[in-house]
Structure 1
C-alpha cells in the first residue's frame, strides 16, 4: 500500500516536506495491484524518526530516534542508515543492535548494521544541541540494503519536529544604584526630586524662627 500511494498535491505542506506526512495519498486499486505483483520473499526496509525528549530552544539538547524496521518476509542484508540535520549539532549516537558501525559529524551520521531479520528493528538514539536561532530544525534520514526490496518509497523520512523557540532573555543584575530607568529607556528623575524636596524642607525648618517659651 505504501508503494502504491499517489503524490500529494503540488505545493502543499506534505509535498514540500517529503516523508513527513507518509508515502502519499492512498490509491486502493494500485495498492491491490502492487500487493499482487510484489515479490513473495523480499525485504522491505522502512525508516521513521521521532522526537524522544528535550526542548527546541536555542542551546538546549534534544534526543530523537531514527528507527529502521524490516517489514519484509526475509532478512535484509548490508543495511545502512544515513541522516543529515540542519539547525542541530550532533553530540552523540548510539544503536540498539550490537556491532553496528557508527560515525558522525556535527551535521550528519551514518550506521552500518549488516543483516536485519524480518520483523527486526534498528534504533539509533541521537542527542543533538539546537543551534538554530529561529525557524525549524530538520533531520533527513535514508536507509538501504543490498537486496531488491518490495518498495523503496518508505526508505526516506524527513523529521520536522517543531519551530525553534528563541533563547530565554538574560535578566540584568540589580546593582542597587540610586538612579532608575523608565520603561522608555530614559532616566527616571523621581528619586532625585524626592531627595531634593527633603533637603529643601530641612533647610526651611532650620531657617524658620521658633516661638519664645514663656
Structure 2
C-alpha cells in the first residue's frame, strides 16, 4: 500500500465516468479515502465496493454536497464527462463553498478557460493532452514526453548523432537548438545530472528541456 497522503487523506471525485472512475481507483490505490459521487445510480453501484464511500447525488445541488460533507474537504475532483453545463455549475458551486483545491476535467480549451474563470485551481484535458503526448512519441526519437505550462517540456530521447563525442559546452545546444540537457544516462548506468564538461557518447539517453518545437526538432536530428 502506498504511503497515506498528507492532510486528512480524503478526497471527493464528482462524476464516476471513465476519467473520474479510473482516477478514483488510482487514488484509493495510493491510500486516499475516496468519496465517489455521481447522478447515475448504475455508475455509483459499479464503484460501491471499490471506493471508501459512494453516493448518488446531483453535484449542482449545494444542499446535497453539504450533506455529503464535500464542503469540508480540501481536495475535490470534478470529473463530469459530457455535461458541460453541470461541470461548470459544479465547479462554481465548489468555489462558493470554499473548497481549497479544485481539479476539473475539461472537454475543450474553451471549456477549460471557463472552468478556470469560475474557480478551478487546476484543469486537465485528458483526451487532448494524451493525443499531443502520443503525437510527440510517434513523430521522432522521443522515448517519453512531459509537457508543462507555457509550452515547456521535458523529453527523454536517444542522443542525436550530431552530439556524439562532444561535451555539452562544445555542442552549444542551448544557443544552436534552444534546448538544455539536464540529465544523461549511459547504458547500464543510472541517470546523472550534467555539467558543461559532460561528454555525450553513442547510445546515451538524454533528458532534454525546452519548448515543444525545439525539443521535437532536436530529438529528430541525425
TM bin, normalised by shorter chain, reads under 0.3
* Greater per-residue helix proportion: 2
TM-score w.r.t. the length of structure 1 is 0.24
Q: If you compute each CA radius of gyration, which structure gives the higher value, 1 or 2?
A: 1
* Greater per-residue strand proportion: 1
Larger RCO: Structure 1 or Structure 2 (Cα < 8 Å, ≥ 6 residues apart)?
A: 1
TM-score w.r.t. the length of structure 2 is 0.23
